[in-house]
Amino acid sequence: MKINLNSTLFNAPIAIALLALPFIIDALFGHGWVRIADFALLYIMLALGLNIVVGYAGLLDLGYIAFFAVGAYTYALLGSPQFGLHWPMYVVLPLGALIACGFGVLLGAPTLKLRGDYLAIVTLGFGEIIRIFLNNLNAPVNITNGPQGISAIDPLQIGGFSFGDSFEWMGMRVDDVHLHYYLFLAFTLLVIFVSRRLEDSRIGRAWVAIREDEVAASAMGINTRNIKLLAFAMGATFGGISGGLFAGFQGFVSPESFSLMESIMVLCMVVLGGMGNIGGVVLGGVLLVALPELFRHAAGPVQQMLLGKVVVDPESLRMLMFGLALILVMLWRPAGLWPSTQRRREFDADDSVLHQEQETVYDASK
């Protein structure tokens, strides 16, 4: 039996820790780090969405950030002076998720027959297409404002309450970064809840079955087309929600936020943390957001202290260390830092018992 979500996530100590976290971070590290925590939550949502596609259904998607972009631009276009539209958040966010979901199906449909490397290449192309579209849709009719991006986006607000405000509460200063933290935390918990429920259901089993052996899955009566599209759609929906929140939080979106590098970052969170395991993916998200920031802040002073001057630019050193960390993790923990029990066993050595080629139904029918 799986551990009940209610007993794990909502038990009191963890709940209190999560609620107090932004203030603890604020007190210990300063304001900027609460903002980083907000971003970590956005990325965790993204990574959990990608986890459905890559971790459960085994479909390698390298253009996932496109759905984040779709969500963000939906929010930006409908809640900014760009078109003079200022639709409320509770309309725009679900709409963004829905449109992203539509794009997920749109991407999924032509790639159904592809697998592995080939799927990765096509999805990578799709991600770039979306970004290039956003970059160039400023002429002949200006829709996205091109590379300048869209600014002055409405803050996230419900009724009269804006998450962009700050106020005093019981002698504590509550800022926009704190408020956004709680909003994002709520959405992240929702995404975790949905992931868990799906994982342990008829649908989740069908996803894993397709990952394990697509031919056998179809022979068992699973409509592989629909179930794969469902995985794409669910993953994209999470991406769209995260994107909308990002736009409202940031107040500004431009195409450069949605580069291939971002897709790869999110994929790294999933792979590094532990594919198919929600806890691992959350861990991956936290680490890959927090560590580079930590490094950025520390690299300069540490060099100063040890060598007397800054020898290597902290920014390039950051990527170097990131690459090194990836290689080390893949060498020593190929299934991720905190793998699902299933995946860990997959990487065990005793695979010889049951070896099957991973051909698709479509290969078989040729």
Site residues for other proteins per CB under 8 A = 194, 197-198, 201-206, 208-209, 212-213, 215-224, 230, 234, 342-343, 345-346, 350-351, 353-354, 356, 361, 364-365
The beta strands (E) that lie in the chain are given as 79-80, 85-86, 150-151, 157-158, 161-162, 167-169, 172-174, 252-253
* Alpha-carbon span 240 to 71, nearest angstrom: 4
Judged by CB, which is closer to other proteins: 128, or 214? 214
- Decide whether 212 or 314 has the Cβ nearer to other proteins: 212
Task: Report the SS3 class of residue 239.
Answer: helix
* Min dist. Cβ of residue 200 to other proteins (A): 8
Scanning the chain, the segments in alpha helix (DSSP H) are 5-9, 12-29, 31-50, 65-78, 89-108, 116-136, 176-199, 202-212, 214-219, 224-250, 260-273, 278-307, 314-332, 341-346, 361-364
Distance of closest approach, residue 262 Cβ to other proteins, in angstroms: 27
Closest CA to 228 of 81, 108, 84: 108
Cβ proximity to other proteins, 6 vs 28, nearer residue = 6
- Shorter beta-carbon distance to other proteins: residue 291 or 361: 361
Cα dihedral sign, 134-135-138-139: negative
- End-to-end, the C-alpha distance of the chain in Å comes to 41
Closest approach, Cβ 123 to other proteins, in A, equals 23
**Minimal distance, residue 346 CB to other proteins, in Å:** 5
In the complex, minimum distance from the CB of residue 219 to other proteins, in angstroms, rounded to a whole number: 5
Q: Quick check: 244 and 105 in contact, CB under 8 A?
A: no
- The residue (of 220 and 311) whose beta carbon lies closer to other proteins is 220
Please state the closest distance from residue 269 (CB atom) to other proteins, in A. 22
Give the nearer residue to other proteins in terms of CB position, either 170 or 353. Answer: 353
**Smaller CB distance to other proteins: residue 208 or 264?**
208
Gap between the Cα atoms of 336 and 289, Å rounded = 16
Distances (CA, A) of 108 to 170, 198, 236, 242, 249: 50, 19, 10, 20, 29
Query: How is residue 17 written in tokens?
Result: 């820790």
| Least spacing, CB of residue 204 vs other proteins, in Å | 7
Shortest distance, CB of residue 9 to other proteins, whole angstroms? 16
DSSP letter for 144, please: S
Residue 51: phi and psi, rounded to 5, are -60, -35
Q: Which is nearer to other proteins, 190 or 327 (CB)?
A: 190
Q: For strand 161-162 and strand 157-158, is the pairing parallel, antiparallel, or unpaired?
A: antiparallel
